[in-house]
Amino acid sequence: MLNYIAKNETKNIIQKICVEKNILVLYETHNDINIEEYIKRTNVNFNVLRYFIIDLECIIDLNNFPKIISQLKIMYPKIRIIVMASYNNNYLLLEQLYQLKIYNIVDTDLVQNIEKQMLDALSEKGIQKKQVRIFDKKEQEKILKKKENKKKLKFKTKKLINFVIKRNTHKSNNVYFFLLELITKIVKLIIGILFFILTSIGITVLFFFRKSVPNVVN
């Protein structure tokens, strides 16, 4: 008999395998949950369970997870706890579970291999200690290096984007001031030309006016 907490594609995989292996699903939860509250308030009868599958994607109190699972394991030693999780995102938490001798860990990063891992976890012996790859020292170093490289790439990309934005802003400001200065000069030139034209017209009018005044007097 089996209980699971999972959603989306992982839920479908669990249901499919349970049908194939004739495992009775007594309880199922498809929502995000607080694992401590769930254990305290659920109607699940853990005494009759053989398997308890938990997808970490559904757990909102991950920091509390190892402690609660440890207590559950002590209270119900016959239950096989199967944890579905991303090795890359949760390796520190999974290492704590490993120290608690929980070896039935299904790596959800290997999407194409989830079903096979789940079949192993639900097999007679389950996943054995030697099959849990993440806690090999070289594997840990590889994952840490990968995460560090990802961080460095993200930082460099951000730095480059900021540099380009800053440079383009600087260029835009230079263009703006250049255009402003050019327009100012053009306006001054136009004003000068208009002043010259108006002055010339004024002088010409005044000249003809003075020339015509004696004739009017005579």
pLDDT tens profile 135-180: 555 566 666 677 778 778 888 788 778 777 777 666 666 777 778 8
Cα–Cα distance between 136 and 191 in angstroms, integer? 82
SS3 at position 22: coil
**Domain check: are 154 and 77 in the same one?**
no
Cα–Cα distance between 90 and 94 in angstroms, integer? 6
Which pLDDT score is estimated for 134? 58
**Residue finishing a domain among 76, 101, 133:** 133
6, 31 contact by CB (below 8 A):
no
Length of the chain: 218
**Domain check: are 38 and 124 in the same one?**
yes
Note the pTM of the prediction, 2 decimals: 0.61
* DSSP state for residue 180 in the 8-state scheme: H
Give the structural domain span for 72.
2-133
What is the per-residue pLDDT across 185-201, written as a single tens digit (0 to 9) for each?
A: 888 888 888 878 878 77
**Domain check: are 16 and 97 in the same one?**
yes
Q: Residue 2: enclosing H or E segment and its boundaries? A: strand 2-5
**Domain check: are 129 and 30 in the same one?**
yes
**Domain check: are 54 and 92 in the same one?**
yes
Q: What percent of the chain has pLDDT over 90?
A: 38
Number of domains in the chain: 2
**Domain check: are 31 and 80 in the same one?**
yes
**Residue finishing a domain among 133, 155, 175:** 133
Cα–Cα distance between 76 and 78 in angstroms, integer? 6
**Domain check: are 46 and 64 in the same one?**
yes
